[in-house]
Chain A
């Protein structure tokens, strides 16, 4: 069970859109539609922003959207705001009731 692969960092200007990728294998991302995404401001509790690949929990802005192609899941944030600056993590079901996280991506809003 290896960690999912995410870019270490991405950046964008306010109002722009950015996409964060999350690459796994046929044992996790590629085999299940059970990818979730979390926003983490350091020192605070992580927050669920996407579940089951594309769904948003109640209260999460529709500026956040998720997708998947093959073994790569993606998180897109549109209309970037300063408050979106945070670390983002993906997580996937990996079979046999086990889960694997990505290494995290630091988003900088320029």
Chain B
């Protein structure tokens, strides 16, 4: 069973860059059947789509975050990573990694999420 595990710093200072790594286990990230995505949930609010990456490196981002977001993939480590620059308190959230199954056009497997606080 494929699993996703997020790892991040927990606490980031304002104006710095938030870095999050998603490790894929139990399956290969190098599949043409999936995209790999990042989604977040600020405290007390709903989910927000951040972006997705294909194993080839193609990326697609939320227009409202595009200027600050980079998602990259490392097939040798079976990982993908999120970088969000110039963070503010508004970026405080639980950050999730998720697999988007192309045949479903939906996120079929999620990680448990990791809380990142900007302070």
Contact = CB atoms under 8 A, between A and B. Distances in A.
A and B together in one complex: yes
B105 A98 contact: no
A89 B106 contact: no
B46 A103 contact: yes
Contact of A101 (B46, B64, B108, B113): B46
Given A93-B105, A99-B49, A1 B62 contact: yes
A3 B52 CA distance: 18
Given A97-B52, A100-B49, A52 B112 contact: no
A98 B51 CA distance: 8
Contacts of B48: 3, 101
A91 B100 CA distance: 12
Interface residues of B, number: 24
Nearest to B97: A45
Interface in B11-51: 39, 45-49
A91 B64 CA distance: 17
B107 A98 contact: no
A5 to B, nearest CB: 10
B104 A48 contact: yes
Contact of B106 (A1, A51, A104): A51
A18 B10 CA distance: 38
B110 interface: yes
A36 interface: yes
Contacts of A100: 49
Contacts of B96: 45-46
